[in-house]
Structure 1
Amino acid sequence: MNPIAEELNGVIQNTNPNIYDMLSNKGKQLYFPRGILSQGAEAKEKAFRYNATIGIATEGGVPMHLSSIMSSINVDPEQSLNYAPSFGVLKLRQTWRTHIFNKNPSLSGKAVSLPIVTNGITHGLSVTADMWIDEDDVILLPDKIWGNYNLIFTVLHGAKIRQYPLFSSQGGFNLNAFEDALQKQALDTKKIVVLLNFPNNPTGYTPTVAEGKRIQEILINVAEKGNNVLVLTDDAYFGLFYDDTSMKESLFALLTESHPKIMTIKLDGATKETYVWGLRVGFITYGTLTKDNPSDIYDALEKKTAGAVRGSISNDSHLSQSVILGALNSENYPKEKEEKFRVMLQRGRRVKEVLANKKYGDVWEVYPFNSGYFMCLGLKTVNPEALRVHLLDKYGVGVISLGKSDIRVAFSCVEEEDILTLFDIIYRGIKDLEKVSDH
């Protein structure tokens, strides 16, 4: 094992040995190399004549560039064309952590790591799997999930997914099924991995405040009995909450510093929060409880995570990070965010109004939703894939079919005035297929 990895492992073991035990075999071997990077950093500080260490081309003391490229970029070459650190641009990391604290009041008085920048949340999940997931590890997820989890965790990392029903018969988060799944897994493995994605993709559901508190209690109870609990919070759609019943902060905030055997990892990003899907800027942030100052263990975990980033993509786009940082520091940012939130809020509320019409009750069940981009319908009479194809071919309407009974509707990309028409067309499509099956 590399001596730097051994050094980082020692820091983690001395600060909280439970966290070390949760690392994957690969995670224990990960480190951030010194070598060329440290030599380059030293040269940047001291090489006053010629700096022949960096792997870029320069001209006139700035990164070499083409006018045909820079004519489309309103960002200085140093902040757009140059390599960013594998950790991410420091000012962006600091600003994003402040953003996390501002949006999550339950973090007040707690310590979390500086976020590591990833190439979107998908890459963040993959890096997290590198760090924490071994082959044959079991990940607990609800029965309604983002399909990419299968690729990331099972195909690419060899883990197993075990599922529990997301919704109870009363229509909220299925706390009993969640607790039962945890207790059963606790009998099989010392390390339990839980992924919590709220607002949920595909259903658009976020737990109520009471449900969130109970989720926290259930996880602490499992840790109290001796299991190490690794909790991943996929907060991709964070902030898009449309009614008064849902939590308005991440479960990361409740679980950080809740128990020394609970390691919480927040995966979030600018992708959806700032409406920049193609800029690909995500973050990984750690929160746990230690007996001493947590800065040492966070520093070690940040270095291992940055090593995983360096070993996969080297670093994220400097241009994207500079654009996001500029937006976050803009005095207009809060107002602009609120304006776009209002648009999404009105669309979500309009969907609820439309679906309250009892005429739809004979063809679908509306799953609970209160947040995010999506909502799901459970079809009662037709196959979802057959409906998807029929809606495309006859009406030019696209939806996503899921499993044996569900379709996902992204109301995020439908104008408010078109929502009634959209669901009427879906209803009409179902009736078309019912007539065909009757014959």
Structure 2
Amino acid sequence: MLRRLFPTCASAAWMLITLAGCGGEEAAQPGPPGGGAGPEIAVVHGAPRAMGEEPASEEHAVEGYAAAMASNGALVAVGTTKAVYELGASGPLQLAIVGDGPDLPVSTGQVRAMAPYEEGLLVAAEGGLFYTAGGALQPSLGSEALAALTITAMNARVVRVTTGEDDATETHLALVTTDGARELSRGEMVSWTVEGEAGAPTAMLAQQDRIILAFEERVYEIDKATSKAYPVLFDAGRIRAIACDSLACEEGSLIYLASDEGLVERSPDGAYTLYPLAAEGEPAVAVESFALDAQKQRLYALAGPSVLRVHAGALPDAIATATPADLPRRIAVDKLGDVWSGGGLAVRKHAVGAPLSFAADVRPIMHEYCAGCHADGSQGAPRVDFTSYDVMLEAADVLLVRVTQGTMPPAGYEKKLPKEKIQILIDWDVTRAP
């Protein structure tokens, strides 16, 4: 029988101060840490790049409208307005609820949110909080404080930690609820609020040192060390979701916001870019949801008629046609790298899984973390075009030694190369596919 204990949570409330429009000494210092007038947003017009032939796909019916999707290793699932289905090669399998308690729920009711946790998935639904490692659902045996929350969205940050000689992982959850934002980390649950924002946030992302909260069109970057919220001073439309381009979401990772005005990218140096996903003068294409391929650290999004592959500092690729739906759509990625999209009363598998390649996986890393100095030889760096496949082949051996030793990028460079990006370079080096 499945049995998974959820950590005991201690509640702690932090009141955060926005630095614009507030009285007192803090109001005299508007903008982000370090001064300045706050980040501006660059706008890059253009439609997503088409990727050629439409990949093979297969569609399966489910009972109820697809409301949430998530994956963890080989486990992929969709939560609908009536049940939870595990998605596999033979299609959706509805998961039964198992357990010993006298008050065992008959059904999940409407599923509101799903996220990876430990070896399985955590499911927040109308009928309660559930956990599955595949094959069945079990009511979560976690804290009453967590079970009492009405969770509407959640995402996970999975961090690898070393304990003695063994490696383990820690899951940190960001929870959007009907009465605010919370972060569950190492057994403690912290409530985050922003002074002047009374309603529930529409999206949230948690890093080790930073929280990003969205309240409709208003976005705040919260410095955990000082417990202060800094308003992001631009309007990029209503924010529906926030995602990271890596599972650990370390400092140096790129962050993306799904907006009704397109795709918003936050680079490691704090600069924001809006991609309306349309030519200048044409209506912007709204982004609905994100999914991360945890194996290859590839981020995907649903926007308008397309499934998008997101790239650092560039327009995304349109890799497949998404099923149109009147209600919000969701997305997840399986262990093979194939993308599942859920919309309406069906889920569709898009066979887009592909091995790591220089063009799709390595070049974006080199562009984001290396080209800033090496492209023009600035800051004393040798002039090298690391976005060229031929150049990269010649330099790969030396480059991998330097990035694994931590000497490239050099200490003090504003864009730290996350461990997960280094692992992509190491994995690509096995085949060095173009």
Q: Which is strand-richer, 1 or 2?
A: 2
TM-score (norm 1): 0.26
The higher radius of gyration belongs to: 1
Which protein has greater RCO, CA pairs closer than 8 Å, 6+ apart?
1
